Structure formats: structure tokens, C-alpha cells
Amino acid sequence: MTRRKPPTPRREWAYFFDLDGTLIDFAATPAAVRVSEDLRLLLTRMYRSAGGAVALMSGRPIADIDRLFRNARMPAAGLHGLERRAARGTVTRHRPPVPAARMERVRRRLAAAVNGKPGLLLENKGLALALHYRRAPRLGAYAHRLARSLLPVLGGNGRFCIQRGKYVVEMRPSGKDKGVGVEEFMREAPFRGRLPVFVGDDATDEFGFAVVNRLGGVTIKVGPGKTVARWRLPDVRAVRAWLAS
């Protein structure tokens, strides 16, 4: 049962925020999203008042997060936890479990398939490959079939997995997810010992919710849909209003 209104934010908590669909509204393509000065200021204020215990948890690479939040360089988990920048600034990267040549082979196959399908977008994230169909939702089933059919090229044995999301299907290395990312942050200062809060809107955030629930923290799902989160907010605007409180 999802209770409606989450408890008021407290400065002694540790915060984990998804970006797209949680703090930022979706745009036609991932590159087209805009971060307002208001949001930058809001996050900077939270980061200071929570003693630095604020981490951005995204499917985007960290370089992309830094492009959106110029000069912020907050703790962050990128590529669903495959890369992580700790509070002290050091970045760790999960090593790709398959040869670059195989990744390139799959990338080429996807690029060729996308070429003849307007509205389908291939995003090469380096360690992961994502097919976006936000501009052509009817191509969703095709995109999922394509990703599943190419997964064996990246190796069976669960070395890679399919990560589904809103109008996106992604092939990414297994072993890390946003839940693992939360656990890693929670072992380190300034997160350690605090009550964790996770806010997210998509399937990849459910891993974060599960870990934070286990730690007795606050989990907030943004928007409709099935979730293990204990609270819910309707949209990005409501998340920002909640943070401003």
C-alpha cells in the first residue's frame, strides 16, 4: 500500500535522486532536456544543508550528469551504478565484461536497424547501449525484440542484461544497479549512519527502493505504476515542491 504524502525532508537524512522523470521533465531525446537555474540552486542548497549527503543516481553517464549540472560535481552514480563518484570525488568504473569488438558489432547492428526507423534513437553510452522510442512508441515492441536478439552477442552467462525503462530498452553489464550504488554510498561518509531517501520514477529505481526499504528509509515513486516504494508523488513539480519544503 502506497501512502500518499511523504514525510517532510530533514537535513540529517541522506538523499538519492534519479534525474529524468524525477528532478527533470522528459524531452523528445535525452540530449534535449533542460536543467533550470532554479533546480541547480535547489540541489546546491540541499547538498549544503544535508552536509553533502546528496547523490544523483542516473542511467546517464557521469560526464552527461556533469554537463547538465555544471560545476556541481556532486556524488553521483552513472549508467545505473556502473560508474560512481564518491563524496570525496574519486570515480570508480565497473570494467566492461565483454571485448570492445563485440560491443562494436552490436552497436553497428543497432545503428543499421535504427537507420531505417524514424523516431528510434540509438544512444551509445560506452558501457551500455540504449534504444529510445519516445518519439515512436509503436516501435517499442520492435526495439525490445531487437535488444533481446542481440543480447547473446554480448555473452550469455548473464554478463549483460536488458534494462527496460520508459520508452527505452537498454543493454548493460550485469552486477551493478542503483541499489548496489546506494549500498556503496551508505558505507561511506557523509552518507553512513544517515536515514536514506530514494526518489525515482522508473524500473531501474526499483533496485534503489528495495535497498532503501530494507534500511528502513524513505522511498518515493514519482508518477503512476507498480512500485515497491512506500510513498508517491505525482510528478516532477511535486518532487521539487516537496524538496523546497
Interface residue list for Mg ion (CB under 5 A): 18, 20-21, 201-202
**Is the CB of 20 or the CB of 66 nearer to Mg ion?**
20
**Is the CB of 102 or the CB of 164 nearer to Mg ion?**
164
| Neighbouring-strand partners of residue 24 | 20
Minimum distance between the CB of residue 33 and Mg ion, rounded to whole angstroms? Answer: 11
- Among residues 204, 172, 160, 173, which one has the least CA distance to residue 16? 204
Three-state DSSP at 180 gives helix
Residue with smallest beta-carbon separation from Mg ion: 21
Cβ burial 66-89 (10 Å sphere, 16+ → b, else e)? bebbeebebbbbbbbbbbbbbbee
Q: Judge contact between 184 and 178, C-beta under 8 A.
A: no
- Among residues 20, 52, 58, 57, which one has the least CA distance to residue 39? 20
**Is the CB of 66 or the CB of 202 nearer to Mg ion?**
202
**Is the CB of 28 or the CB of 100 nearer to Mg ion?**
28
| Segment holding 46, helix H or strand E | helix 37-49
Is 18 labeled as catalytic in the residue annotation? yes
Give the CA dihedral 237, 68, 65, 110, nearest 10 degrees: 100
Minimum distance between the CB of residue 95 and Mg ion, rounded to whole angstroms? Answer: 25
Catalytic residue among 18, 177, 201, 205: 18
Minimum distance between the CB of residue 198 and Mg ion, rounded to whole angstroms? Answer: 12
Minimum distance between the CB of residue 23 and Mg ion, rounded to whole angstroms? Answer: 9
The residues that are catalytic are 18
